Amino acid sequence: MHRTTITQARELLQNKKISSVQLTEAVFSRIDEVEDKVQAFVHLSREKALQQAQDADARIAAGEEAPLLGVPIALKDLICTEGSRTTCSSKILDQFVAPYNATVTEKLNQAGAVMIGKTNMDEFAMGSSNENSHHHPTKNPWDLDRVPGGSSGGSSAAVSAHECVASLGSDTGGSIRQPASFCGVTGLKPTYGRVSRFGLVAFASSLDQIGPLTKTVADAATLMNVIGGKDPRDSTSANVPLPDFTQALRKDVKGMKVGIPKEYFTGGIDPGVEKSVQEAIRTLESMGMQTVEVSLPHLDYAVATYYIIACAEASTNLSRYDGVKYGYRTEKSDNLVNMYENTREEGFGEEVKRRIILGTFVLSTGYYDAYYLKAQKVRTLIKQDFENALGQCDVIASPVTPYPAFKLEEKLEDPLQMYLADIYTISANL
């Protein structure tokens, strides 16, 4: 029962072949069975979830219908849920209890979802392996010696291990797509502004976006129908009509053009990954799609551009964590400044501190024009490259990462290798 998709679960629940309580209990039984190995979660809401399941069964019995009524869903641990811990997998927020719901949390509640818990992640979404979590590293369900990807590794692993029917993650530079690839599930980074960021703890505000991790494309479309749309509480959410994404699944792709960027296959990609991508392209061709070569001439600058902008925004967003109003506060301080310093030194992990330092540097006097301002100009050039490419085709085919899931601790001491692995995903965020 725990292996059901959203589509299957909805049908079974509405036809009263199973109850939401039965489905939720089956999911928790699966969690009890594998969680000590996979470690996808940081907090479970068993009692609250079972109460939500009972409420969903009562609503179904009364003839109500809702897109996710009675379906168990997990949330990445940077999406606020009122009255529950939202830690961002960081020591500095380890005991923080959110005083309000994120917009996506409210929309899931309105759609009847059963919230089973919060999934593990790289601290403040900074990482590509889930090894930067303050709590513990999550393991890849397909091979427990390998990483699940990051930063939404807990969400992808939970879906892959059938510890939930679906989950939400966030994507700043590939943090939904890369773990989805590593764990063999469906991951979608929506267009910036399509989904409200209200209640999402910020890493890089101009790059962050919430999206689904699911077992099927149809399930991703269903979740997008629920979480998408304009939100007056988020000034960056797009004021455009929300289509029915499930309708697009019925469209024929025959005659559509798929662009193949020539810069994506010039070296540095694992032979197995390249083979899989080429096989996927041939499948698209067999469905009637036409392939055309396109160019992204500024791709070589994408990684540097992304990390300059992301770290600059992170250094600003994370400046609020100082031990004064909420979160962790050091016990070792002689004065106010000393308290700030020790709180941040003890509360943040090494990768977060590395990015804060880098971001502060590129925003500092004498370096702002040389780094941050130049990165914003190159960002515009990269965006123009994609606009030009998409003027020649309907979609672009791309690898997600240069290599498959790597071993735990294999790249932990070489952050540059982690950064370079984002080459295929970050441009969509820029």
C-alpha to C-alpha distance for 427 and 430, rounded to whole angstroms? 5
Give the helix/strand (H/E) hosting 117.
strand 114-119
Query: Which of 19, 20, 45, 76 does the annotation list as catalytic?
Result: 76
Q: Could you confirm whether 76 is annotated as catalytic?
A: yes
The residues pairing with 168 across neighbouring beta strands, listed in sequence order, are: 75, 212
The CA radius of gyration of the chain, in Å to the nearest whole number, is: 21
Euclidean distance between the first and final Cα of the chain, in Å?
40
**Cβ-proximal residues to 129 (8 Å cutoff; 6+ apart), any chain:** 122, 137, 147, 148, 149, 150, 153, 406, 408, 411, 412, 418
In DSSP notation, 382-423 reads: HHHHHHHHHTT-SEE---SSSSSPPBTTSSTT-HHHHHHTTT
Amino acid at 75: L
CB 215 within 8 A of CB 5: yes
Query: Which of 175, 181, 196, 398 does the annotation list as catalytic?
Result: 175
Q: Which of 185, 182, 193 is nearest to 228 (CA)?
A: 193
Place of tokens 């369900």: 141
Place of tokens 């984002």: 422
Q: Could you confirm whether 237 is annotated as catalytic?
A: no
* DSSP assignment letter at 85: B
* DSSP assignment letter at 422: T
Show the 3-state SS of 290-311: EEEEECCCCHHHHHHHHHHHHH
CB 221 within 8 A of CB 246: yes
CB 255 within 8 A of CB 288: yes
Query: Which of 90, 128, 129, 151 does the annotation list as catalytic?
Result: 151
Q: Could you confirm whether 276 is annotated as catalytic?
A: no
Residues in the chain, how many? 430
Place of tokens 């703890």: 201
**Cβ-proximal residues to 106 (8 Å cutoff; 6+ apart), any chain:** none
Catalytic residues: 76, 151, 175
